[in-house]
C-alpha cells in the first residue's frame, strides 16, 4: 500500500480516531508520562507439560519458556492491533510490522557485554519459526560480530563531548519525525512493538521497566524468575505450583481499559493453552 502524506516509513497515520485519543497526545506528549502497569502471575503447569512434549525430539536447541512468551506476545499484538500502535510527535500511528526485541548477555559475568536482538514476525509465523529465529539471533549476538545499533553506538562514543551533544539533538529531531536511518536503528529495541526483559534468567524478580520517549515502543514485558508460588482454590485451600510473574508497562494513550483487559485475557489464554501457539500468529482464537 502506497504511503500517504503524514505516514512514516515505520507506521501509518491513524486518520480516524475518537476525539479522546486525538486529544490525549496533545495534552500528554511524552510516552514516559503515560505509563500504565499490569502485573500477572502465570501458572506454568500447562507450559511445562507442553515443553516436555515439544522437546522429546526437537534436536540440540530445546524449546523453553522464553520461546513461549515471545510467541505469545507476538500473537497477542498481531490479534490486538491497537497494542501495536505508537505515538510520535503528538500523532498516533499503526506500526507496519509486529516485532519483539530483547537483550542478549554475551557472557554471564560482571564484565560480560550485551547485544541487541530483534524478531520481525510475519502472520504466517508460529512457535517453531520463532524458536528458530531466536536461536539464530542469540547465536549471532554471542559471536564476535556486532549488531548494527551497537556498532553505531561504538562510533559515537569516540566523538568529543560537544559533538555528541549536537549529534544527540539532531538524533532526537530525526527520531521525533521518523527520519532516523534504518541502518542506525535496525536492532534498536525501542523501535520494536514490544521489548521483553528476561530478568528471571539472571535470578531477579519481575519488576516494571520504564518506557522511553526515544523510539516508538509502547509495550515492555519483564519476565521474572521461575519458582513455586501459592494458587488459591475457591474453598480457600491452595496449591504450590511452579509459576512466573510478568510485569507489563504500556502506553495508556493507545486504547481504553476494556481493550487492555481483553488483551491480557488473550495473552493468558495463549499461555494457559500453549498448543495454540502452533497456529499461525494471525489465526484467531476464542478467549
Spacing of C-alpha 212 from chain mean position? 13
pTM value? Answer: 0.89
Q: Are strands 219-223 and 238-251 parallel, antiparallel or unpaired?
A: antiparallel
Tell me the three state secondary structure of residue 137. helix
Helix (H), strand (E) at residue 238: strand 238-251
DSSP state for residue 230 in the 8-state scheme: E
pLDDT in tens, the chain (287 residues): 678 989 999 999 999 998 989 999 999 999 999 999 999 999 999 999 999 999 998 878 899 999 999 999 999 999 999 999 999 999 999 999 999 999 876 555 555 556 778 999 999 999 999 999 999 988 877 766 666 666 666 777 777 777 888 988 999 999 999 999 887 787 789 999 999 999 988 888 899 999 999 999 999 999 999 999 999 999 999 999 999 999 999 999 999 999 999 999 999 999 999 999 999 999 999 98
Which cell goes with 23?
486529544
What sign results for the dihedral spanned by CA atoms 181, 185, 190, 195?
positive
Strands (E), 173-237: 194-198, 219-223, 227-232
Nearest alpha carbon to residue 6 among 82, 88, 83: 88
Host H or E run for residue 151? helix 148-156
Q: In order of start, what are the domains of the chain with their CATH numbers?
A: 37-278 (3.30.559.10)
Alpha carbon distance 215, 11 (integer Å): 12
Site of grid cell 512493538: 193
Query: Which residue's entry shows cell 514516559?
Result: 32
Exposed / middle / buried, residue 203 (Cβ in 10 Å: 0-12, 13-18, 19+): exposed
Q: How many CA atoms lie within 13 A of 115 on its CB side?
A: 18
Q: Are 257 and 251 in contact (CB under 8 A)?
A: no
Tell me, rounded to whole angstroms, the distance of Cα 82 from its chain centroid: 14
| DSSP per position, 46-57 | HHHHHHHHHTTT
Terminal Cα-to-Cα distance of the chain (whole angstroms): 31
Q: Which residues pair with 241 in a beta bridge?
A: 229
Amino acid at each position: 500500500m502506497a504511503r500517504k502524506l503524514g505516514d512514516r516509513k515505520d507506521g501509518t497515520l491513524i486518520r480516524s480516531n475518537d476525539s479522546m485519543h486525538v486529544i490525549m497526545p496533545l495534552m500528554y506528549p511524552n510516552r514516559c508520562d503515560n505509563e500504565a502497569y499490569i502485573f500477572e502471575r502465570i501458572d506454568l503447569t500447562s507450559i511445562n507439560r507442553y515443553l516436555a512434549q515439544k522437546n522429546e525430539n526437537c534436536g540440540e536447541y530445546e524449546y523453553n519458556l522464553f520461546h513461549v512468551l515471545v510467541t505469545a506476545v507476538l500473537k497477542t499484538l498481531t490479534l490486538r492491533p491497537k497494542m501495536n500502535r505508537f505515538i510520535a510527535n503528538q500523532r498516533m500511528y499503526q506500526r507496519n510490522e509486529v516485532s519483539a526485541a530483547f537483550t542478549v548477555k554475551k557472557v554471564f559475568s560482571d564484565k560480560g557485554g550485551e547485544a541487541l536482538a530483534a524478531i520481525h514476525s510475519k502472520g504466517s509465523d508460529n512457535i517453531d519459526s520463532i524458536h528458530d529465529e531466536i536461536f539464530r539471533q542469540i547465536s549471532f549476538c554471542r559471536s564476535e560480530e556486532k549488531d548494527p545499533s551497537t556498532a553505531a553506538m561504538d562510533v559515537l562514543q569516540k566523538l568529543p563531548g560537544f559533538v555528541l551533544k549536537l549529534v544527540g539533538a539532531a538524533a532526537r529531531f530525526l527520531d521525533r519525525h521518523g527520519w532516523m536511518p534504518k541502518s542506525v536503528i535496525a536492532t534498536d529495541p525501542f523501535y520494536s512493538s514490544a521489548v521483553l526483559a528476561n530478568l528471571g534468567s539472571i535470578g531477579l524478580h519481575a519488576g516494571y521497566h520504564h518506557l522511553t520517549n526515544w523510539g516508538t515502543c509502547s509495550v515492555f514485558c519483564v519476565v521474572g524468575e521461575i519458582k513455586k508460588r501459592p494458587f488459591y482454590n475457591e474453598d480457600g485451600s491452595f496449591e504450590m505450583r511452579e509459576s512466573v510473574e510478568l510485569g507489563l508497562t504500556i502506553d495508556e494513550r493507545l486504547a481504553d481499559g476494556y481493550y487492555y483487559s481483553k488483551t491480557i485475557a488473550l495473552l493468558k489464554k495463549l499461555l494457559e493453552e500453549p498448543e495454540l501457539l502452533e497456529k499461525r500468529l494471525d489465526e484467531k482464537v476464542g478467549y
